[in-house]
């Protein structure tokens, strides 16, 4: 049984306890267990992320802080890939929440899912910018010819774009949305 199912089962069991003191004691114990599970999940995520970063570096890809800020990259991305949409259209699809809504609301022609993943792998790339929707971090990947879509599987709302903004690959936090790939022209 996975952790979520077990936690739900325990919460339901505890909720059925009639004695309030016993119920409170059991709830406190469950909260402690949940906290430990969350800590372990975070450690496992960090371990997997380190393994992935080592794999990227082993392919000769160099990851450096971007000389261009995340804010400027987002602005440029918006200018290039959302240029067909006026401000009112952008507002209707909540672009300020996620730039990739241009794809999910089918306002930008793109390919998605496995085709998008293959397009990223097959597209010519030497250096790419990598930035995130809700983080200020921005990177430049040098010697990027060997990047793979799986390099971004642990990321949410990540944007990969070539230095000239000729194409972009976007991996969202939503399982049913994306990933997406499109060319600017």
Q: DSSP letter for 177, please.
A: S
Q: Within 10 A of 101 (CB to CB), how many other CB atoms are there? A: 20
pLDDT for residue 1: 61
Task: Give, for all 185 residues of the chain, the pLDDT tens digit.
Answer: 688 889 989 989 999 999 999 999 999 999 999 999 989 988 988 888 888 889 999 999 999 999 999 999 999 999 999 999 999 999 999 999 999 999 999 999 999 999 999 999 998 899 999 999 999 999 999 999 999 999 999 899 999 999 999 999 999 999 999 999 999 97
Alpha carbon distance 150, 147 (integer Å): 8
Taking the C-alpha atoms of residue 134 and residue 153, their distance in angstroms, rounded to an integer, is: 17
pLDDT at position 49 is: 83
Rounded to the nearest angstrom, the gap between the alpha carbon of residue 106 and the centroid of all alpha carbons in its chain is: 19
Please state whether 123 falls in left (phi above 0), alpha (psi between -120 and 50) or beta. Answer: beta
Judge contact between 81 and 162, C-beta under 8 A: no
Residue 166, judged by CB atoms within 10 A of its CB (0-12, 13-18, 19+), counts as: middle
Tell me if residue 150 falls in helix, strand or coil.
Answer: helix
Helical spans, DSSP H, in the chain:
3-15, 20-58, 70-81, 87-92, 101-104, 113-122
Per-residue pLDDT at 61: 96
pTM assigned to the model: 0.81
């Amino acid at each position: 049984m996975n952790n979520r199912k077990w936690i739900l089962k325990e919460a339901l069991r505890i909720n059925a306890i009639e004695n309030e003191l016993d119920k409170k004691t059991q709830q406190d114990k469950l909260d402690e267990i949940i906290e430990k599970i969350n800590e372990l999940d975070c450690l496992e995520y960090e371990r997997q992320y380190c393994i992935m970063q080592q794999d990227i570096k082993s392919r000769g890809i160099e990851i450096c802080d971007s000389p261009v800020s995340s804010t400027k990259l987002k602005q440029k991305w918006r200018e290039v890939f959302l240029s067909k949409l006026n401000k009112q259209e952008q507002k209707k699809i909540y672009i300020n929440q996620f730039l990739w809504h241009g794809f999910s609301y089918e306002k930008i022609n793109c390919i998605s899912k496995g085709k998008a993943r293959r397009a990223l792998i097959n597209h010519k790339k030497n250096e790419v910018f990598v930035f995130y929707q809700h983080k200020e971090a921005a990177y430049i990947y040098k010697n990027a010819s060997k990047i793979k879509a799986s390099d971004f599987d642990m990321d949410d709302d990540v944007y990969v774009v070539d230095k000239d903004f000729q194409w972009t690959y976007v991996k969202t936090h939503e399982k049913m949305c994306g990933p997406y790939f499109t060319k600017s022209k």
